[in-house]
Amino acid sequence: MDEAARLCDNAGEFAIITASLTAGNMIEWQKCIQARRAAKYPEMKMVALRPCDDLKDKAQSEATALLGANPKLKLIMAICSPAVPGAAEAVKQAGKVGQVKVIGLGLPNENKRYVHEGVTDSVILWNTEQLGYLTVLVAKAVAQGELKAGAKSINAGTLGNFEIVGDNILLGTPFIFNRTNIDQFDF
């Protein structure tokens, strides 16, 4: 939501393309997006939420419909990996590059072309190298008895200290892949 607001100067209409309207993880993403929007960006207005069933072609079709139905649309936020290139292709084919921004949760390799063409402004995901490092470090600590139930933090070496909430260790702020750094990643 922060990236969407930044790209829209904190105001305007946006739509979300999600994998599913019933998947638990997608519902949680939507709750977080809406809470952040309400708290920090009241001038941003979500005008639609569309599912794509984790299919690029359906995401493209949904994005095309959104563009036709919402002439003031400033941004499409795609919160599943296939939706980002699908939405980007719809914006490109509609001739709305630069007018309608595309961002989303996705893989760099699927989106490099659209980022370099200026269709997609940013792709957001965890840095998989850091996530892998943290996962292995935590697994080792559990296996060796160094990380026990009820622990509140863990030192992850070069990544620093992380808070443990329940049984979750969050890597932290997602990584933003954009034109300046996307070519450094190959996944």
Q: Which pLDDT tens digit goes with each residue over 96-118? A: 999 999 999 999 999 999 999 99
Task: Check: CB of residue 36 under 8 Å from CB of residue 173.
Answer: no
Do 31 and 91 fall within a single domain? yes
Give the distance from CA 69 to its chain's centroid.
24
Tokens describing residue 71 = 């002439």
Q: Indicate if 122 and 156 belong to the same structural domain.
A: no
Closest to 18 in 3D by CA, of 78, 89, 63, 64: 78
Q: Among candidates 96, 102, 129, 100, which has minimal Cα distance to 115?
A: 102
Q: What is the mean pLDDT of residues 121-150?
A: 91
Confidence of residue 80 (pLDDT cuts 50, 70, 90): very high
For residues 169 and 89, give the distance between their C-alpha atoms in angstroms, rounded to a whole number: 35
Q: Which of 50-54, 63-67, 122-126 has the lowest mean pLDDT?
A: 122-126
Residues 165 and 177 in one domain: no
120 and 51 in a single domain? The answer is yes
pLDDT band per the 50, 70, 90 thresholds, residue 127: confident
| CA–CA separation, 129 and 154 (whole Å) | 18
Please name which of 68, 108, 118, 87 lies closest in space to residue 18, comparing C-alpha atoms. 87
Residue that is written with structure tokens 């969407």 in the block: 4
Q: What is the CATH number of the domain that holds 91?
A: 3.40.50.2300
Residue 168 has pLDDT above 90, yes or no: no
pLDDT of residue 146: 93
